[in-house]
């Protein structure tokens, strides 16, 4: 399992909650669809990139972002409980949370996800502002071990409703993707983690039917046994239960 990239304040409460939310989004197939599309689109767009005809890094990035948005809206629309929309940027809604997707501005392997700047997009900056307004982390402060928060101070990371998936296309055709809770301030994340096959789930989805004009029947997801939260056991702690799922 890949460890999350902790914020400068090491917000372990946000980290733990992000891992839980990531498992939930992986279980329904959203992260598998997005990460597979990122891989496919970046390879294809890089192969047809023609600097001799005037293509540059900006045109390549815009082409890949639009391809991802258009295909993701088509392919995610019939996953159970998932809503995907093109709002000038890809927006995915599931289980009461909203996910925005954005491409990293660099193709260098030395680029770090903590270098992301939400000010580059109004939509993403507003999402980071919304998270910052509902959750006040005490990690790394003098009040970290206090039992009682100040009035109006919410220390529960479950209030975080906005997720961001940042993906990076490298010059060799490979990709990297991260998922996290964006925030305003000197550090862009409450918590963020690198997505790999372990994180996005061992899920088989036949997406070819989604590219057909008359694909009216729900797709089938073959999901492995996954740990998902069981709120009935303890609403405060949200322990996990083992389930095996098949969506049709």
DSSP string, 113-140: GGG--GGG-HHHHHHHHHHHHH----TT
Q: Whose CA is closest to 132, among 7, 5, 35, 2?
A: 7
User: What pTM was computed for the model?
Assistant: 0.78
**pLDDT tens by residue, the chain, 248 residues:** 444 454 445 699 999 999 999 999 999 999 999 999 999 999 999 999 999 999 999 999 999 999 999 999 999 988 999 999 998 899 999 999 999 999 999 999 999 999 999 999 999 999 999 999 999 876 544 444 445 555 555 578 999 999 999 999 999 999 999 999 999 998 999 999 999 998 997 766 665 555 554 344 444 454 444 454 554 445 554 444 333 333 33
* Rounded-to-integer distance, Cα 81 and Cα 93, Å: 8
* Rounded-to-integer distance, Cα 229 and Cα 14, Å: 16
């Amino acid at each position: 399992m890949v460890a999350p990239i902790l914020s400068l304040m090491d917000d372990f409460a946000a980290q733990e909650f992000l891992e839980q939310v990531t498992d939930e989004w992986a279980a329904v197939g959203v992260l598998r669809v997005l990460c597979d599309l990122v891989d496919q689109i970046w390879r294809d767009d890089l192969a047809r990139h023609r600097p001799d005809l005037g293509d540059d890094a900006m045109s390549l990035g815009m082409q890949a972002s639009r391809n991802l948005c258009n295909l993701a809206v088509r392919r995610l629309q019939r996953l159970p409980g998932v809503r995907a929309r093109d709002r000038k940027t890809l927006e995915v809604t599931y289980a009461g949370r909203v996910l925005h997707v954005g491409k990293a501005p660099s193709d260098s392997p030395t680029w770090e996800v903590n270098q992301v700047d939400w000010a580059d997009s109004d939509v993403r900056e507003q999402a980071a502002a919304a998270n910052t307004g509902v959750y006040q982390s005490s990690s790394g402060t003098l009040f970290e071990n206090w039992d009682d928060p100040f009035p109006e101070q919410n220390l529960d990371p479950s209030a975080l409703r906005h997720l961001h998936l940042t993906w990076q296309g490298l010059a060799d055709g490979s990709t990297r993707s991260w998922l996290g809770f964006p925030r305003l301030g000197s550090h862009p994340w409450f918590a963020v983690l690198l997505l790999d096959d372990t994180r996005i789930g061992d899920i088989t989805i036949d997406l070819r039917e989604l590219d057909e004009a008359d694909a009216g029947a729900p797709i089938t997801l073959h999901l492995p046994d996954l740990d998902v939260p069981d709120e009935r056991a303890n609403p405060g702690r949200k322990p996990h239960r083992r389930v095996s799922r098949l969506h049709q």
